[in-house]
Structure 1
Amino acid sequence: MKSLNKFFQYYKPYRGLFFADMFCALLLSAIDLIFPIIVRFLLNDVYVLKNENKILKYVFIIGAALLIMYIVRYFCQYFITSWGHIMGAKMEANMRKDLFNQFQKLPFSYYDNNNTGTLMSRIITDLFDISELAHHGPEDLFISILKIVGSFIILSSINLPITLVLLVITLGMVYFSVFYNRKMKHVFMRNRKEIAEVNAVVQDSLAGIRVVKSFANENVEEKKFKKGNKQFLKTKEESYFIMGKYYSGNGFFQGILYLAAILFGGILISKSLLSVSDLVIYILYINIFLNPIDKLVNFTEQFQRGITGFERFLQVINTKPAIVDKEDAIEVFNPRGSIKFNNVSFGYDDKNDVLKDIDIEISAGKNIALVGPSGGGKTTFCNLIPRFYEATKGDITIDGIDIKDIKLNSLRNAIGLVQQDVYMFGGTIKENIAYGKQDATDEDIIEAAKRANIHEFIENLEYGYETHVGERGVKLSGGQKQRISIARVFLKNPPILILDEATSALDNESERFIQQSLEELSKNRTTIVIAHRLSTIRNSDQIIVLTDNGVKEKGSHKELIAKNGLYATLYNMQFDILK
């Protein structure tokens, strides 16, 4: 019921359209119910008349009335088919918007545990079935109930005993439908999960197609897909077996309805308790009565597909974002950039901490380098500052303000991040650079590109800044993508910089240019640099050595070399390799 209540909320913006759709459905049902009554009137009252003129008079009047009714029926059917579907499509669009917005709010930890292909299945496949239910569900249910109730009333007026027999058979159909309806719900939910897994495998394989081909592992991916596809087929087969029993069972009950009408009708005719014309009308009404039953049969399948899809939709919508603004959160404008970690710990699960009891103070405008073995928590340390993850213990402050007391947008607008894994959005180079500042002018974008030493390369391209980069920037080299991502940060111009191996993908010449640009950008800004190339951080104000046991060492390059500890060991190892 909670799912249905939430589902009905999406009808609110389109109440006028919904009620118009239901009104058209009412007229449609009424016209279909009236037709056999008119036929009965013709058979019992008109065609028995001896006066030819009177017969023709009634026939023309009834013909004109039927023509008007079917013109009305035409417009009602048109409205239901067109505007009814449009209403469903609009509801689907609203749900997709809500789902996408929810995806934007969920933290990194949610995406750590959920595959992109699975999430794509929820926003595309599931919502399509929900849209169909939103349009056809209420309309089919409304028409079916009207026709069934109307047919029973009219049939009862013709002959109550036969109608009672049909009622007993119909109740059997209802019980049969409810029984298999429950079975279908479970199997359709499994179908959803299995197709989501298939989508996840496809997305993963296509996104990593270059890795697949480089290892000649097409057969491995085919086996993975085959396994998921086979499992999905298995659940589909199970669902079709249940549907086969469901449809054939309902077809059997429908045949029993005709059989009962003919059998009991024949008995009553033999006893002069029923006229032949009334039996004909009775069978016509059974046909009208069976049509909504067919709709109900289709509705139950549609309902289960739609409602299971909606429940999967609600699983995402009802997920509470772990990281949200506090009610009294404040905006910060142009912070100086002093950062302090007060006894901070963090772990991706309840058992193992990646960071343990970190106490670090970074003065505004200082250039700080984080080094250490892989797995020491350097990237995690940086991800805690913009609240991509929430510290499990302790607190982090910027200019003495707890970051939990700062609005997320305000906090993240104050931080520029160049990550090790550069992501390029589908579109042009210009659009990718402008992602750092949506209202940037062409001059701003060009200036940012120049400072990132990528302007000349862009100018030499056939379409310049309007060149499309391809999916994930496939048309660009690693170094070019890195420099474009750095141009984004130049454009954003934040008071705090986080450079997560920002020059790792560059050749030596490009690295030298970028290093100069980054040094210029870092002036009077708080900069945190993660680097494996220790030669690039010798001029940092402070170097912090992080291990899985916390802060191992900190000091300037000269101080740490003189200390001859872990940093000196790491530095000398790289120096020996370079020699």
Structure 2
Amino acid sequence: MRSLVRILSTTRELWPYYLGIVASSLLMSVTALVTPFIIGRATDEVVAIAGGHGGTVRTIVLLALGLLVAELLNTVLTNVGGYLGDTMTARLRQILSVRYFEKLLGLPQRYFDNELSGTIIGRLSRSITEVTNFLKSMANTFFTMLVTTVAVLVISGFYSWPLAVMLAVMFPAYMWLTTRTSSNWQRLEGEKNDRIDLANGRFSEVIGQIRVVKSFVRERSELAMFDARYGSTIDLTRGQARHWHTMDTARRAVLNLAFLGIYLVLFLQTAHGAFSIGVMVLLLQLMAMARTPVTMMSFIVDSGQRAIAGSESYFEVMDQVPEVRRALPAARAADTAATAGQPSAPAVGPESAAGPVPDERPVSVVGPEPTVEMVDPHAFAFRHVDFGYEPGRPVLCDVTFHADAGERIALVGESGGGKSTLVNLLLGLYPADAGIVSLGGRDISAMPVEKLRRDVGVVFQDPSLFSGTIRENIAYGRPDATDDEVAEAARRANADRFIERFPDGYDALIGERGVKLSGGQKQRVAVARALLKDAPVLVLDEATSSLDTKSERLVQEGLEELMADRTTLIIAHRLSTISSVDRIVTLRDGAVDEIGSPAELAVSGGIYAELLALQASDDLADRARLRAYGIDAGVETGDPDDRTEDAETADAGAGRR
């Protein structure tokens, strides 16, 4: 229940709606309570006329008109309350949804690593639907029930204290049984929700990767898994429903017995002259009015239990610790001055004149030591960085290297050796376990994430486009960009020719994840997006690895334009793409092995020299070894849709999917 109170307390702007609904509910109760009195008085008038004991037709007509007015008022107030309830529900759904989305956007990447996107979406839909439905029904019915119950008790007590006593005992007894009924319900509902979340999470994955599912002919197995997960909720529901309906039968039986006593008292007292026929009719209608809120209590409790279970899922997300930038303890004492004033020059492994730190794995540095003055916003450095996605399973160990402004640095190492992890750390998606990652001489853990990520542009292997137009995707990093700026970025990325051949040009819709574009086209849109963002530091994470030779050439031309005057960190899948970089950093088992220019490392006997030798070999084992480093062994691969520019533009004109 605390979670529902918490929702109410955090949606204070909705109090005018709550008060309006409460006011209309109270007035509805008054108009409803007037009706039995009018009917009772009219009954006595009719009996009097029929028995020749007085009464007038005029009085009956006036009572009938009064009844009409009361019913009309009740109808108007009911719809006013309904209107306010509907508006409040929509506003509440907006508030809770936006806050949920805002919270998700602020959570660290590690949270999303452990959750299925379908599960996250399912929680939002279920939680907010159940909470809003409950609060709406609660606002519309609770105060009406409360006023009606109190009024019936008072009026019954005025006419017959035994009736009031029986009602006073019946209400708490029914509530106690209702509480007992729902004691085990919430736990079972939580278990059901967990299983449904798993099913919905898998559902979202399958729909998002439907081509993979179809290509491996897994439709039947995925359907069977989905069916089994929903089927596993049936046994839980059986037990839940059995307990609920058994207790509901007991509650209703108690209610029926209580009303049997009430009706007997009414009939017998009327028969003995204690009440007139009109009063008896009045009290019978009041008893019927009292029965309605009592029986509705089970519905409200049921709805409330669902809302509580749903709100707990909601607040599990809302209580997650958001992404926080704070300085981390350096792994080595040499890093303590990392971010103070004019930052000290980073000790780039044994590039430091002091040599390797004791107990550290030596790093081979080939050639003269480069300058390490870290004052330019285009420069970045990793200093003695340790990191692991899970405790006790390190991915990076004492990684130290830097890039001066305008330098092109390539990362080379075996697949899974930590290259993409370094990109994640530079973007601040994960905090380093130890050591310092700095950008422009500032420890990124002390920088606002918005500033950090504005200064780093990324082109991933997966372009990660959104549904919408080509214009919206290119301008994603700068929504305020003009049409001319978007077109210029597309031209520099070698994307303008195929875009302009779409019937709608830059306004062409590209489908979910850009499904209507070929791989090369998507990647050029991604390059244009990074060009328009114009960040001083650029990361290329195997940006052309999924393309064929023709598409790669077109994309590479765009990347060359993008890398101009930028500090660039490159993870490449072909040695030819890193042969022109300023320096190469090789990684072995998550640690830096060598640092040097391509020419220097080509003859050093290390990883890069080994890769060059493997590329020159025709031996199949050597080729397999080369691919273990994520390097293309010479076989052209790519999206079957990646063809010549002429074919692409012809397809664009036809609106090919």
**TM superposition shift of 1:352:** 0.9
The equivalent residue for 1:119 is 120
Mean CA deviation greater in 448-457 or 266-275 = 266-275
Unaligned runs of 5+ in 2: 328-338, 342-374, 618-622, 624-632, 635-657
Give the letter aligned to residue 112 of structure 1: D
The equivalent residue for 1:507 is 548
The equivalent residue for 1:481 is 522
2:391 to 347, 350, 364: 350
2:402 to 358, 361, 368: 361
- After TM superposition, the structure 1 = structure 2 runs for residues 227-376 of structure 1, keeping only pairs within 5 Å, are 227-268=228-269, 277-324=278-325, 336-376=377-417
**CA offsets 1:537-562 (integer angstroms, 9 cap, x no match):** 01111100112241011111111111
CA distance in structure 1 between the partners assigned to 2:604 and 2:97 by the alignment = 58
**TM superposition shift of 1:167:** 2.9
- After TM superposition, the structure 1 = structure 2 runs for residues 40-439 of structure 1, keeping only pairs within 5 Å, are 40-44=40-44, 47-48=47-48, 54-268=55-269, 277-324=278-325, 336-439=377-480
Mean CA deviation greater in 368-377 or 203-212 = 203-212
Q: CA RMSD in A?
A: 2.5
Q: Residue 369 of structure 1: SS of its match in structure 2? A: strand
CA distance in structure 2 between the partners assigned to 1:224 and 1:17 by the alignment = 44
CA distance in structure 1 between the partners assigned to 2:530 and 2:101 by the alignment = 26
The equivalent residue for 2:35 is 35
Task: Confirm whether residue 463 of structure 1 aligns to residue 464 of structure 2.
Answer: no
CA distance in structure 1 between the partners assigned to 2:98 and 2:185 by the alignment = 29
**CA offsets 1:385-422 (integer angstroms, 9 cap, x no match):** 12011111111112221112222111111110011122
CA distance in structure 1 between the partners assigned to 2:229 and 2:98 by the alignment = 29
**TM superposition shift of 1:455:** 1.4
Mean CA deviation greater in 538-547 or 230-239 = 230-239
User: 8 Å contact 2:378–2:406 — kept in the other structure?
Assistant: yes
Mean CA deviation greater in 564-573 or 162-171 = 162-171
Q: Residue 465 of structure 2: SS of its match in structure 1? A: coil
**TM superposition shift of 1:510:** 2.8
User: 8 Å contact 2:408–2:583 — kept in the other structure?
Assistant: yes
**TM superposition shift of 1:276:** 5.4
User: 8 Å contact 2:475–2:486 — kept in the other structure?
Assistant: yes
The equivalent residue for 2:606 is 565
**TM superposition shift of 1:372:** 0.2
CA distance in structure 2 between the partners assigned to 1:499 and 1:36 by the alignment = 78
**TM superposition shift of 1:246:** 4.3
The equivalent residue for 1:519 is 560
CA distance in structure 1 between the partners assigned to 2:453 and 2:421 by the alignment = 16
User: 8 Å contact 2:181–2:243 — kept in the other structure?
Assistant: yes
Mean CA deviation greater in 218-227 or 51-60 = 51-60
User: 8 Å contact 1:371–1:530 — kept in the other structure?
Assistant: yes
The equivalent residue for 1:553 is 594
**TM superposition shift of 1:52:** 8.4
User: 8 Å contact 1:166–1:260 — kept in the other structure?
Assistant: no
Mean CA deviation greater in 53-62 or 152-161 = 53-62
Q: Residue 386 of structure 2: SS of its match in structure 1? A: strand
**CA offsets 1:101-124 (integer angstroms, 9 cap, x no match):** 111111211110010011111222
**TM superposition shift of 1:84:** 1.2
The equivalent residue for 1:449 is 490
CA distance in structure 2 between the partners assigned to 1:196 and 1:442 by the alignment = 42
User: 8 Å contact 1:25–1:80 — kept in the other structure?
Assistant: yes
The equivalent residue for 1:22 is 22
CA distance in structure 1 between the partners assigned to 2:98 and 2:376 by the alignment = 34
CA distance in structure 1 between the partners assigned to 2:185 and 2:143 by the alignment = 22
**TM superposition shift of 1:345:** 0.9
**CA offsets 1:445-471 (integer angstroms, 9 cap, x no match):** 122112221211222223222221111
CA distance in structure 2 between the partners assigned to 1:240 and 1:27 by the alignment = 37
CA distance in structure 1 between the partners assigned to 2:89 and 2:10 by the alignment = 10
**TM superposition shift of 1:425:** 0.3
The structure with more helix, counted as a fraction of residues: 1
Q: Residue 48 of structure 1: SS of its match in structure 2? A: helix
CA distance in structure 2 between the partners assigned to 1:183 and 1:274 by the alignment = 46
**TM superposition shift of 1:266:** 4.6
CA distance in structure 1 between the partners assigned to 2:160 and 2:558 by the alignment = 93
**TM superposition shift of 1:325:** 7.5
Q: Residue 374 of structure 1: SS of its match in structure 2? A: coil
**TM superposition shift of 1:495:** 0.5
CA distance in structure 1 between the partners assigned to 2:193 and 2:450 by the alignment = 35
User: 8 Å contact 1:137–1:302 — kept in the other structure?
Assistant: no
User: 8 Å contact 2:45–2:60 — kept in the other structure?
Assistant: no
Q: Residue 342 of structure 1: SS of its match in structure 2? A: strand
CA distance in structure 1 between the partners assigned to 2:310 and 2:296 by the alignment = 20
CA distance in structure 2 between the partners assigned to 1:279 and 1:64 by the alignment = 22
Give the letter aligned to residue 609 of structure 2: A
CA distance in structure 2 between the partners assigned to 1:146 and 1:197 by the alignment = 44
Unaligned runs of 5+ in 1: none
Q: Residue 477 of structure 2: SS of its match in structure 1? A: coil
Q: Residue 428 of structure 2: SS of its match in structure 1? A: coil
CA distance in structure 2 between the partners assigned to 1:241 and 1:470 by the alignment = 47
**CA offsets 1:479-517 (integer angstroms, 9 cap, x no match):** 221111111111111100000001112221332333333
The equivalent residue for 1:472 is 513
**CA offsets 1:22-66 (integer angstroms, 9 cap, x no match):** 111001111222222233334457743788885223223322322
Mean CA deviation greater in 82-91 or 4-13 = 4-13
**Residues 203 and 536 (structure 1), Cα distance of their counterparts in 2 relative to 1, 3 Å cut:** same
**TM superposition shift of 1:335:** 5.5
User: 8 Å contact 1:341–1:360 — kept in the other structure?
Assistant: yes
Give the letter aligned to residue 489 of structure 1: A
Mean CA deviation greater in 61-70 or 496-505 = 61-70
Identity of aligned residues (%): 31
**TM superposition shift of 1:298:** 1.2
Mean CA deviation greater in 442-451 or 55-64 = 55-64
User: 8 Å contact 1:261–1:283 — kept in the other structure?
Assistant: no
